[in-house]
Amino acid sequence: GLIEEAAIDGIPVLAIDPKGDLGNLALAFPDLAPADFEPWVDAREAERQGLSVGDYAARQAEQWRAGLESWGQSGERVRRYREAAEVTVYTPGSSAGRPISVLRSFAAPPAAVLADPDLLAERLGTTVTGLLTLLGADADPLGREHILLTAVLDHAWRAGQDLGLAELIHAVQQPPMKRLGVMDLDTVFPAKDRLKLALGLNALVASPTFEAWTLGEPLDVQSLLYDPQGRARVAVVSIAHLSDAERMFFLSLLLSEVVAWTRSQTGTSSLRALVYIDELFGFLPPVSEPPTKRPLLTLLKQARAFGVGLALSTQNPVDIDYKALSNAGTWFVGRLQTERDKARLVEGLTAAAPGAASPAELADTIGRLGKRTFLLHNVHEKAPVVFRTRWALSYLAGPLSREQIRRLSQDAGSEAGEAVTASPAAAVAPSAPALAPATTAVVSPTPLPAGAPAGRPFLPPDVPQLFFPPRSGGPGAAYFPLVLAVADVHYSSKTYGVEATERVLRLTELRDGLVPVDWSEGEPVDVPLERLVTDPQPGVAFQPLPVDPSGRDVKGWADLFQRWLRGEGALTLHRYAPLKLVSGVGESEREFRLRCAQRLREERDAAKQKLRQKYGSRRATLERRRLTQAQALERETQQAQHRSLDAVVSVGGTLLGAFLGKRAPSATRIGTAVRRTTSISKERGDVERARQALAQTDAELARLDAELERELAAVAGDGVHAEALELESVSVRPTSRDVALRFVGVAWVPFVQGASGRWEPAY
């Protein structure tokens, strides 16, 4: 229910699933039709009940309909949940669901992590410990294997370099440093021992089982939480199929990425994302230090400040570090099976939340909890409360098999098992009529002459030229002549609050015709100008120039480029009118949508808090009145009981005396008894009036609570969904004085001819 409600509100969820049943979150059937349930019901359970699978599915569908109705829910709310967020099941190390590539985890972390020594040390330690755990090697942070790998990664990351496993293996054999600490490298870790470590890493890479770890989407938290349009995702990361070592390896990397992503967000008091771990056993133990413990501790201490919630679940209370959980502000305690578990939980809860309740009271309350009933302790509440969870919107089919996960992925339209790699920088291919990114470029230039490679064409001195460094040279590679323009463009707008300078690099083809250069058909290129060189790489052939350009031609290209920048080179930004927000330079549409959604969520939460404060003062007044009335009712009730007893004793004594032949009752004594009897009626009237006053106040409290709930629901609406925000595009155009040309001339771009004969960019 917690994950479903978060999704309905547009909050993305990263759900780590060690048991394999969180994939049930994708089993949401708005029509509640038996045919929707049938593929997911337990056929063996149907057989045990003497039913066909179809009949059992119909019974399950009816049970779900009745369960939802008992909580005021319907198929429409299931539809709302299904439409609010995309539920995706990821299976690292397997192609059953959507695989995740872990190679990116050895890439240099964000600048925010590199700038923080503690975060960098934590990232290094977690990454290396996880890798050594997967290898089955000694993961002691003081071991030489750990120290060497940490030093290698630290050296590369500080230099802004990414390391794949292949580069890491080479760096282990030939480290970039000569010393470890104050001692010589070969003394601490001789070359023959380093070779053993490199061979172990190589065996891991060569293993067929490890190949699955190289396929899939990059391990990127932003992409796990949001689709390209900014729609929230419920990303279920299933690790039930992994061994213990593989779980530790992957989860340590994932949690490190979550820490880095969290620290890159702005601070907020509103929930931005939720991280859920379905079973914490083994990941946060009280004594040992697995690679998952440190990032979990960091998240427990810091994530709240960045709007990231952490929900941790366990059925093993004795194996949890309760000192770490002292940072948890909310506890949900369900039914426990053993007295040992109950005692450990009570001990941990009283230590983490002193003053919440006495151990005896907690133990008694926990012992009486029923099915789907929980004890809620919140640091902002005076005392724990007991509540029941609502009926789940999604069908709880139990743990999913690999075949079911594969079917689920196919039904969701995902391409399970397909290798998804990061797109290289866009490049230009000399093919008509348009240029294309490097991943799709296909060219069919005039074939090179047989024999020796074509030589470098002559260009006059007043025609600038630069060379893109090729990834590889030799036969099959060739430089193609394109036209490159580089300019620093200043964009300024007081209206939209823009004041920025962007470097623009654009490539276009050089043609033989009336329009030899057309910048509108060009493509941006994401290669720093500083990487380009003035000399070609030996052994790379040249394609001939289609025309012989002159310095005058270059000046014309520059004029055309400036004209194109003033016309089509405008800086396009996004604007969200209700908040008067404009996207920043370099901020993608998805990032801007998420920023707007978070601002809306913050304003909504502030409005909710204001409502609670407004109604809180009125409720406090009513509660004080109720307390006074309850005390009055108790007092009147006691007085009535006392008067009733006195009257009974008085009348009874008078009648008993007369019956036993004692002196006859006098008129005075009879009058006293009658007056006491009459007083009883008055006292009973007082009690009834006090009871009615209390009931009236209770009714006012109920009406006040209902009114508050209605206003809160009106403020909440249908949640905040970034993908549904209506944005408008705004443009900031540069003037001629805002453009500073840095280079206009011929760019020799390397292409390589593949086995199919197609030319593809090779820089």
- pLDDT tens track for 214-238: 888 888 999 999 999 999 999 999 9
Closest CA to 493 of 145, 732, 709: 732
Helix (H, G, I), strand (E, B) or coil at 503: strand
Distance in angstroms (rounded) separating the CA atoms of residues 255 and 574: 32
The rounded distance, in Å, linking the Cα atoms of 327 and 20 is: 28
Per-residue pLDDT at 98: 93
Report cis status (omega within 30 of 0) of the bond before 449. no
Alpha helices in 305-442 (DSSP H): 339-352, 359-367, 402-411
Q: Residue 428: pLDDT band by 50, 70, 90 thresholds?
A: very low
AA letter at 558: A
Q: What is the mean pLDDT of residues 102-110?
A: 74
Q: Which amino acid is at 133?
A: T
571-576, strands of its sheet edge to edge: 581-582, 571-576, 728-732
For residues 431 and 757, what is the distance between their CA atoms, to the nearest angstrom?
14
Distance CA(473)–CA(539), nearest Å, equals: 6
427 pLDDT exceeds 80? no
Which has more confidence, 76 or 384? Answer: 76
Among 183-197, 433-447, 500-514, 669-683, the range scoring the smallest mean pLDDT is 433-447
Q: What is the mean pLDDT of residues 609-622?
A: 88
Q: How confident is the model at residue 306 (pLDDT cuts 50, 70, 90)?
A: very high
Strand order, beta sheet including 373-378: 330-333, 373-378, 385-388
Question: Lowest-confidence range among 42-51, 113-122, 345-354?
Answer: 345-354
The yes-or-no verdict on residue 414 having pLDDT over 70 is no
pTM for the structure as a whole: 0.76
Neighbours of 283 (CB within 10 A): 25
Q: Given a cut of 80, is residue 464 above it in pLDDT?
A: yes
Strand-pairing partners, residue 500, are 491
What does the pLDDT read at residue 636? 78
Do residues 334 and 373 touch, judged by C-beta distance below 8 A? yes
Residue 394 pLDDT > 70: yes
Taking residue 456's Cβ as centre, other Cβ atoms within 10 Å add up to: 14
Q: Tell me, what amino acid is at 418?
A: E
SS3 (DSSP) at 173: helix
Q: What is the pLDDT of residue 558?
A: 95
Question: 488 to each of 83, 113, 377, 674, how far by Cα in Å?
Answer: 44, 29, 57, 106
Tell me the average pLDDT across 318-326: 81
Q: Tell me, what amino acid is at 518?
A: D
For residues 344-359, average pLDDT: 75
Question: What is the Cα–Cα distance from 747 to 542, expressed in whole angstroms?
Answer: 12
Residue 129 contacts by C-beta under 8 Å, 6 or more apart in sequence?
A: 139, 141, 146, 252, 290, 291
CA distance 154 to 666: 108
Mean pLDDT confidence for 270-283: 94
Share of the chain above pLDDT 70, in %: 87
**Using DSSP, how many helices (H) and how many strands (E) does the chain show?**
21, 22
pLDDT tier at 442 (50, 70, 90 boundaries)?
Answer: very low
* Of the listed ranges 30-34, 517-521, 642-646, 681-685, the one predicted with least confidence: 642-646
Q: How many CA atoms are closer than 13 Å to the CA of 268, on its beta-carbon side?
A: 24
In this structure, the number of other CB atoms found within 10 A of the CB of residue 202 comes to 16
Instruction: Report the pLDDT value the prediction gives residue 655, as an integer from 0 to 100.
Output: 47
> Which of these, 100, 110, 302, 333, lies nearest to 217 by C-alpha position?
100
Residues in CB range of 430: below 8 A, 6 or more apart? 443, 445, 480, 482, 509, 543
Mean pLDDT, to the nearest integer, of 524-551? Answer: 89
Q: Is 717 left (phi over 0), alpha (psi -120 to 50) or beta?
A: left
Is the pLDDT assigned to residue 443 strictly greater than 60?
no
